[in-house]
A and B are shown apart, each in its own frame.
Chain A
Amino acid sequence: MSDVLLELKGVGKSYPPTVQSSKRLRAFWQILTRGRSEEGTSVLRDIGFQVRRGQSLGIIGANGAGKSTLLKVITGVLAPTSGTITRTGSQAALLELGAGFDSEYTGLENLRMNAAFLGLSRKEVDDKLDDILAFADIGQFIHEPVKHYSSGMVVRLGFAVVASVTPDLLITDEVLAVGDESFQKKCIRWIEGYVEQGGTLLMVSHNMYQVQKLCAHAMWLEGGRARAMGDVFDVTQRYLAWHERRDAEDVASRQNRPSGSICTVESVTLPDEEEGELRLAMGASLRVRVTARSPDERAPVVLVGLIRADGTPVYGVASDHDQIELTPGPDGRVELEIRFPELNLLPGGYAARAHTLDPEGLRIHDTREVAFTVTGRSRELGMVRLDHRWNVL
């Protein structure tokens, strides 16, 4: 399927001067007579791309790069100053969960209103009401005014409404970073399911892991322009590399450690590897060497996992699970090796994957992997040989 859901051509946006009332009046007059205002601060320039069905796009970039403005322009909340936007198919936006809620009304009334904004008819809402309420899971609070809600409840209700719509194109702005752990998981599961069922996502996120997981393509915005666009891994890696370089420049200029907040995986290698991919006999020992880099004197948490070639996780362990103390060297580097003395993986293609997490072990910052093959002759089934004894009774 290749139908285009969204197409932007040469889209630019500048915010008109709005503080001085004389300038406001002039802009007003210009819009009225010419349909546009002349002056302004430019925040987006010459953005053009297509989103095809099933090809989710992630938008990444530093703070202030124009990501949120771009989303507002795409959803129609803001009018572009130049260029054209063509939308086909249904579209739902989650610029902010619970946006458009009126705190005086009950959750149920807001739910209905929000659903109407998203284009659901009254009957459709009635049909889906049970699902929405089950998803939001806020119980009897649904009959209370929203002003009595905790922020988590607002978010849950907001997401539940959108989850009931299943649009052709779902636009989200960093909304997955809210709510408690279990609700976040629920949202991510829903979005993954939505993407798997052919839904298309246009998301802004600072979480490269999520972008890589959910999107096929990525666009890197920088100063209101598209700096890079294309395959998600390509773009996110260039983006992260750019961050690293910028951090490194900071180091050089201040004779100090990097101030960026990203712990990176510099390399993950298998020391037993000679040339090409490592081939390992079943039951042999495997060593995985990870070099991580921390932006400050706090050490990251390093997580090493083994996955099957198809991505099925087999086993993963993080340095903080085993209370391994890591101390970054003067250049912020941490080097460590993990050894699996008897790797009882059944023959097949595998990869060792290393992640760095922030020092609190909450967010994944970076990911790298290296592939290896387990060889052997075995007709056992599954992924791993479990210790076992047969007893004939």
Chain B
Amino acid sequence: MSSQNVALFIDLTARELRTRVLSVGAGWFWLFATPILLLLVYNFVFGVIFQARAPDLDVPFVAWLAVALWPWLAFSDGVLKGSEAIKKNAELIAKVAVPRALLTISTQTASFLLQLVGYLVVLLALAVLGVELTLVGIPYVLLVLATLYLLSLGLALLASAVQVFVRDLEQLLPTLMMFWFFLTPILYAPELLPEDMRVWLHLNPMAWWMEEIRSALFHGKMLPDLNFLPLLAGALLMVWVGKRIFDRLSPHFEDFL
């Protein structure tokens, strides 16, 4: 990216963030309050009603859940919002020769960042409530989140470009993401599954990401090991594929929008 495009990317992302936060009257307040409220709801459902237990750990189930849920929300929100970016900016694309990929990337980035703020709030709240998180794992978590960001970016690029041509994707994508959510051990522990199904779980890449984040925050995993490699490779591959297809399709956007 040229320096001009970097500046444009920052402007676009900042604008997107401002719209999301400031378009609501007390935007700043909700930015912090929503995660806390969600945390309370999940605690009520899983902690009080289902009485779920975190596997082999002495932490409330809601903490075990939240540590993986917010990274997923960031990932999923990034993909879904990013995938709509091109259609949403159709008018701009028809009139101004703006680098199109930046529209998707900035929307995806803004969505991802906002959920990360929620994640931070949740982690702080858990720490205040006395949940034992292994904070030495934080640098590794950031590394894992960075790859998750890239994965989300690649998918957003792919989806936003394809959506211009295949309109059905707009309807399909949220459902697909929900499937993926439930097929990933976020709301449940993999140990709850029958033995023969648990093997299949490892074919879901998202499970790898969640596993690494939990090892870092509950078991104090500090350094990347061999488990990190597939995350990095997968994320980079996704960005490469997404960008390639986006670049291939983007000159024709205006014809089909």
A21, A96, A109, A113 — most chain B CB neighbours (10 Å): A113
A-B contact count (CB 8 A): 75
Q: A46 near B: Cβ within 8 Å?
A: no
Contact size range, A: 20 to 34
Q: Which residues of chain B are within 8 angstroms of A79 by Cβ–Cβ distance?
A: 251-252
Docked Cα-Cα span, A121 to B11, in Å, equals 10
Docked Cα-Cα span, A24 to B93, in Å, equals 19
**Size of the chain B interface, CB-CB below 8 angstroms:** 28
Q: B171 near A: Cβ within 8 Å?
A: no
Interface residues in chain B, defined as those with a beta carbon under 8 Å from any beta carbon in chain A: 4, 7-8, 11-12, 15, 19, 23, 91-98, 162, 165-167, 245, 248-249, 251-252, 254-256
Contact with B97, one of A77, A105, A112, A122 (Cβ below 8 angstroms): A77
Q: Which residues of chain B are within 8 angstroms of A100 by Cβ–Cβ distance?
A: 91-92, 95-96, 98
Docked Cα-Cα span, A28 to B257, in Å, equals 12
Q: A78 near B: Cβ within 8 Å?
A: yes
Docked Cα-Cα span, A20 to B167, in Å, equals 12
Contacts A15-B255, A119-B4 hold; do A113 and B15 have CB atoms under 8 A apart?
yes
Contact with B165, one of A25, A104, A105 (Cβ below 8 angstroms): A25
Q: A75 near B: Cβ within 8 Å?
A: yes
Contacts A79-B252, A100-B92, A117-B96 hold; do A27 and B165 have CB atoms under 8 A apart?
yes
Query: Contact between B249 and A31 (Cβ–Cβ < 8 Å)?
Result: yes
Docked Cα-Cα span, A35 to B250, in Å, equals 11
Query: Contact between B96 and A18 (Cβ–Cβ < 8 Å)?
Result: no
24 CB-based A-B contacts, threshold 8 Å: A16-B255, A24-B165, A24-B166, A28-B166, A31-B252, A32-B248, A37-B252, A72-B254, A77-B95, A78-B251, A79-B251, A93-B97, A99-B95, A99-B96, A100-B91, A100-B98, A104-B23, A109-B15, A113-B11, A113-B12, A116-B8, A116-B11, A117-B96, A122-B11
Q: A95 near B: Cβ within 8 Å?
A: yes
Q: Which residues of chain A are within 8 angstroms of B4 by Cβ–Cβ distance?
A: 119, 121
Query: Contact between A32 and B96 (Cβ–Cβ < 8 Å)?
Result: no
Q: Which residues of chain B are within 8 angstroms of A276 by Cβ–Cβ distance?
A: none
Query: Contact between B248 and A116 (Cβ–Cβ < 8 Å)?
Result: no
Q: Which residues of chain A are within 8 angstroms of B95 by Cβ–Cβ distance?
A: 77, 95-96, 99-100
Q: Which residues of chain A are within 8 angstroms of B166 by Cβ–Cβ distance?
A: 24-25, 28
Docked Cα-Cα span, A119 to B249, in Å, equals 24
